[in-house]
Amino acid sequence: MDELPPSSRPSGRWSARPKRLVTRWLYGLALAPVLTSIIETGGRPKSPREWFTEMVVGLLIAALVRQVRKEHLAVLELSRSDALTGLGNRRAFTDALEDECARVRRSFKPLALIYIDLDHFKQVNDRDGHEKGDLVLRQLAAAIGDVVRTRIDGGFRVGGDEFVVILPGSTAAAAEAVLARIRQHCVGQGGAWGCAPLAISGGVAEFDGHEPADAFIRRADAAMYLRK
Q: How confident is the model over 182-211, as a mean pLDDT? A: 90
Task: Compute, in degrees rounded to 10, the torsion defined by CA atoms 84, 88, 94, 99.
Answer: 180
Q: How confident is the model over 148-164, as a mean pLDDT? A: 95
- Percent of the chain at pLDDT > 90 equals 54
State the average pLDDT for the chain.
Answer: 81
DSSP-derived pairing of the beta strands 199-206 and 154-157: unpaired
Mind telling me the catalytic residues? 161
Is pLDDT at 146 greater than 70 in this prediction?
Answer: yes
pTM for the predicted model, two decimal places: 0.71
Distance CA 94, CA 104 (A): 15
- Say how many C-beta atoms besides its own lie within 10 A of residue 33's C-beta: 19
Alpha helices in 46-120 (DSSP H): 48-79, 90-107
Is pLDDT at 138 greater than 70 in this prediction?
Answer: yes
Sequence-distant (≥ 6) Cβ neighbours of residue 170 within 8 angstroms: 110, 111, 112, 153, 178
CA atoms within 13 A on the CB side of 101: 20
Closest Cα partner for 168 from 70, 100, 86, 77?
Answer: 100
Q: At what angle do helices 130-147 and 172-188 cross, to 10 degrees?
A: 130
Amino acid at residue number 50: E
Distance CA 190, CA 186 (A): 8
- Percent of the chain at pLDDT > 70 equals 70
Q: Specify burial of residue 132 (Cβ count, 10 A radius: 0-12, 13-18, 19+).
A: middle
DSSP 8-class letter at 29: G
DSSP lists the bridge partners of residue 206 as 112
Residues constituting the chain: 228
Q: How confident is the model over 29-46, as a mean pLDDT? A: 59
Integer angstrom CA distances of residue 182 from 75, 88, 137, 177? 31, 17, 13, 9
Closest Cα partner for 208 from 172, 161, 177, 158?
Answer: 172
